[in-house]
Structure 1
Amino acid sequence: MPTEPISRLGWIKLGIFSSPVLVFQAIELPWRMFLPPFFSETIGLSLVATGALMMWIRLFDMVADPLVGWASDRFPTRFGLRRPWMVASLPLIVAGTWHVFFASPGTDISTIAVWCAAMHLGYTLMVVPHGGWGLELSDDYHERTRIMGAKVWFAAAGMPLIILLPAVLERLSLANRAGQVATMGWILILLAPLSVLLVLYAIPEPGGNHTAARQTASPARQFAAILADPALVKVLVLYALVGLADASNAGTFVFFVERAIGLDRMAGMLMLIQSLVALVALPVWFCVSRRLGKRGTLVLVFAWNALLAPLALLLPAGNAWLLGGFLCLRSVSWGADYMLLRALVADIAGRRGQSEGASRSGSYYALFNVTLKLAAGLGIGAALWLLAHAGFSPSAPNATAALEAVRLVYALPSCLAGLVGVAITLLYPSERPARVRDPSLAVSRPIL
């Protein structure tokens, strides 16, 4: 049953609440990294068709996410605002996963598109209400950052869980691309119901004013009112930058490692470096944000990305040790931008909820989530389009110019996003001194 917001979650409950992030990773990682090569190499879609499919699904999300976010604010039930939607997500995720991750060679693009849409609708029904729930779970300034940080930490932890077995199969030559994708499909089918049931059983949903919820404005009016806040608009722009850069990186990572650097069957294993470094670095960034504030820490994160990304252009082909070192350094900042930006959104949503007497967290989360998804779709679509027009082929020998194009498309978006991110963040309003409800939070602690 709904309860009041809490000042601090115990680490076990914080882990349980963050567990659906593993499902999000089980969809997003394959979608960005493994499904593009799977669609082009195994199913037989062209790079242009694959890029168009990725972009179309993100456009579909542009409609679904805000409507689900608004509905999860608007229709209270005796089970809560967020819980029923998460339960409804499960059949769509399972069915969509089965038909996408286990698709046979030669499956036509219309069939793939329909089941991708079903899977992503289920994804939206889970991620948006859960995200809104996370924004309103606590009304404490520092606890909000801790909750957002824990979700990003679980995203990093989920990467080894999801791609370790496929990476081992790849390295030992025990599975081709289709076998890797099928393995990740089974992981997703098992994770989705398990994580949702754990959250529903263990975590109380904060109560709200049901009368105020039923008086929620129409979607157009609600989102127009939310976008009237200049501080939120800056966060959305930063989210778009991060999404564009990350999607171009993830969508070209396999091509960058296997073709440009020439390390065949090592992409999955090398991707584990990013998550393992982030597991250590994220709690450090959390502590830094308590000293410098979210704005000051964001400047450091964006600057780090801008400085490190261009080194990918200088890496020699065939040297796994230098590539591993580069990935270690670059991964120091992985996820810190998401943690801080989501915490800023939680602060904004919390202030708005206090003034209006009703939670609009589902709409807030949907708004920045669809911004991220759209940016990601544009990022991966543009990256694949650029590679195709540079003459790159994922299944044939490539000229030196095409391999250099892979490096450029992999590295430059992060560099440019970092530079622009620094400039925008410096224009962000100065933060007010934090008010901490729980005195024990005054001491820096790890995220979990």
Structure 2
Amino acid sequence: MTAAAAMSQAPTRDASHPRLPAFGLFGALLAAAGLPLYIHAPKFYVDEYGVSLAALGTILFVLRLLDVVQDPALGWLARVAAGWRALSVGVAVLVMALAMLGLFAISPPLAPLLWFALMLTLVFSAFSYLTICFYAQGVGTAACLPGRGHLRLARWRETGALLGICAAAVAPLALGGYAGFALGFAILALVAVWSMRDQWQSAGLPSDATGFGPVLRDPIARRLLLVALANAAPVAVSSTLFLFFVESRLNAVGWEGPLLLLFFLSAALAAPVWSRAAERFGAKRVLLSGMVLSIIAFGSAFALGAGDIWAFAIICIASGAALGADMTLLPALFATRMAQVSPGASEGFGLWSFVSKFTLALAAVLLLPTLERAGFQAGQANPEEALHLLSVLYCLVPCALKLIAIGLLVATPIHERSART
């Protein structure tokens, strides 16, 4: 019996009793393969193989262009393969784990830049498919939960994701290097797949074909996709430049790991708080509060210079807490809308996956070559002009992008009932 067949015969009690911790663990796996790659991979290939920042930024952008076609197509594939979702998820996780080992734990048998591109193609493709399946499954699973199910599920899923980012952020240091990080990721993959083994079909996924039409024709869904695009851009910018900012602008070599952990741990601890506040006051209102906090935090970082480690630690706490709101509430708002206009949700989250990841690649292709042209060199003494540009890109650009996202969200007509007494 295949894994998918076994999944389809899972006891019906799973439909009314989803295992939310399993969703949290699988969210941690996906998160460990997402944002941390943009933090670790460029610096690893610069330090280990001498690949230029401009070349890495170009590769990251070209790979994201593939998603213009790939992510929507994977959304279609996720719906077509819904009856075999457990099996297809298992295969995709295997591909992602092996590619992660190839990226960090194996000396490139090809030119390092070509190997980097090949392994990242496999990681990103598997990551895209798994993200689409995972979030689409959540739409059906949330319907089995009492109360505001999408917020309850998001609280577990996104808190797990943020904890996964925390673990991945410090894993190279904690596990003795990047090879240890890749091996730890492979072990996490096995545990996460096992924990979700009987959850993929539990919600009774609809099999009717909806396509992209219902999503793109719905004005609120379109607006939320634009909000996601604008709101992911500040995270993309700060994630791409974080290690360089700490190392070169703050002159805090050795503090990169602890500060990164503080940032994501603050996000993980704040995510359940934001979620519960959203249940009481409404997700849109609470999300806007988190976005304003993000602007305050990043704007404050612009004044920092060499040695301002403790001030930046406070900023990491504040900006991390704001990230917890972004990662928890915006996907919940989109999932709630998908439940109304496209219950299968696969195509909708195919589009969501594309806009979320495209910003990371755009940040890489624009920011890294810009810094290099200004004379910036990682791990070396840099001219003041290059360091000033680094501060502008890391601190002020995210503020401007976040203001755009706030404007789009304010203009989006989302009607919610608060639970205030």
State TM-score, norm by structure 1: 0.85
Does the alignment pair 1:43 with 2:33? no
Q: Which residue is 1:285 aligned to?
A: 274
**Superposed CA offset, 1:181-214 (max 9, x none):** 222211211111221121014665211444x3xx
In the TM superposition, residue 363 of structure 1 has moved relative to its aligned partner by 1.1
In the TM superposition, residue 91 of structure 1 has moved relative to its aligned partner by 2.9
CA distance in 2, matches of 1:306, 1:44: 35
Does the alignment pair 1:307 with 2:296? yes
CA distance in 1, matches of 2:266, 2:236: 19
In the TM superposition, residue 394 of structure 1 has moved relative to its aligned partner by 0.9
| Partner AA of 1:196 in structure 2 | V
In the TM superposition, residue 162 of structure 1 has moved relative to its aligned partner by 2.4
Does the alignment pair 1:153 with 2:142? no
**Superposed CA offset, 1:321-380 (max 9, x none):** 222122112222122112111111111111124xxxxx4211111111111011121122
Q: For 1:359-374, what aligned pairs fall within 5 Å after superposition?
A: 359-374=343-358
Q: Which residue is 2:89 aligned to?
A: 86
Does the alignment pair 1:97 with 2:94? no
Rate the CA distance shift 1:168–1:407 in 2: closer, same or farther, 3 A.
farther
In the TM superposition, residue 381 of structure 1 has moved relative to its aligned partner by 2.1
Rate the CA distance shift 1:385–1:29 in 2: closer, same or farther, 3 A.
same
In the TM superposition, residue 76 of structure 1 has moved relative to its aligned partner by 4.2
Do the aligned partners of 1:88 and 1:125 also contact (CA within 8 Å) in 2?
no
Q: Which residue is 1:25 aligned to?
A: 31
CA distance in 2, matches of 1:309, 1:100: 32
Q: Which residue is 1:191 aligned to?
A: 188
CA distance in 1, matches of 2:173, 2:68: 32
Which of the residues 257, 265, 271 maps onto 1:268?
257
Rate the CA distance shift 1:167–1:99 in 2: closer, same or farther, 3 A.
closer
State TM-score, norm by structure 2: 0.90
SS in structure 1 opposite 2:382?
coil
Does the alignment pair 1:426 with 2:398? no
Q: For 1:182-221, what aligned pairs fall within 5 Å after superposition?
A: 182-201=179-198, 205-210=202-207, 212=208, 216=209
Q: Which residue is 1:72 aligned to?
A: 78
Does the alignment pair 1:387 with 2:371? yes
Does the alignment pair 1:352 with 2:341? yes
**Range with greater deviation from structure 2 (269-278 or 246-255):** 269-278
Do the aligned partners of 2:228 and 2:330 also contact (CA within 8 Å) in 1?
yes
CA distance in 1, matches of 2:172, 2:277: 35
CA distance in 1, matches of 2:16, 2:412: 27
CA distance in 1, matches of 2:395, 2:139: 32
| Partner AA of 1:45 in structure 2 | V
Q: Which residue is 1:356 aligned to?
A: none
Which of the residues 359, 377, 384 maps onto 1:375?
359
CA RMSD, 1 decimal: 2.4
Rate the CA distance shift 1:95–1:409 in 2: closer, same or farther, 3 A.
same
| Partner AA of 2:172 in structure 1 | P
Q: Which residue is 1:111 aligned to?
A: 115
Rate the CA distance shift 1:201–1:225 in 2: closer, same or farther, 3 A.
closer
CA distance in 2, matches of 1:76, 1:150: 23
> Number of residue pairs matched?
409
CA distance in 1, matches of 2:213, 2:341: 14
Does the alignment pair 1:134 with 2:138? yes
Do the aligned partners of 1:7 and 1:138 also contact (CA within 8 Å) in 2?
no
CA distance in 1, matches of 2:189, 2:397: 32
CA distance in 2, matches of 1:143, 1:128: 19
Do the aligned partners of 1:278 and 1:333 also contact (CA within 8 Å) in 2?
yes
**Range with greater deviation from structure 2 (301-310 or 57-66):** 57-66
In the TM superposition, residue 316 of structure 1 has moved relative to its aligned partner by 3.2
In the TM superposition, residue 160 of structure 1 has moved relative to its aligned partner by 3.3
Q: Which residue is 2:283 aligned to?
A: 294
Moved over 6 A (4+): none
SS in structure 2 opposite 1:270?
helix
| Partner AA of 1:270 in structure 2 | L
Do the aligned partners of 1:244 and 1:380 also contact (CA within 8 Å) in 2?
no
Q: Which residue is 2:398 aligned to?
A: 414
In the TM superposition, residue 430 of structure 1 has moved relative to its aligned partner by 3.8
In the TM superposition, residue 4 of structure 1 has moved relative to its aligned partner by 9.1
Rate the CA distance shift 1:347–1:30 in 2: closer, same or farther, 3 A.
closer
Rate the CA distance shift 1:274–1:311 in 2: closer, same or farther, 3 A.
same
CA distance in 2, matches of 1:147, 1:278: 17
Rate the CA distance shift 1:108–1:330 in 2: closer, same or farther, 3 A.
closer
**Range with greater deviation from structure 2 (145-154 or 286-295):** 286-295
CA distance in 2, matches of 1:29, 1:350: 27
| Partner AA of 2:162 in structure 1 | A
In the TM superposition, residue 263 of structure 1 has moved relative to its aligned partner by 0.4
Does the alignment pair 1:163 with 2:169? yes
Do the aligned partners of 2:262 and 2:317 also contact (CA within 8 Å) in 1?
yes
Q: Which residue is 2:316 aligned to?
A: 327
Gaps of 5+ in 2: 1-7
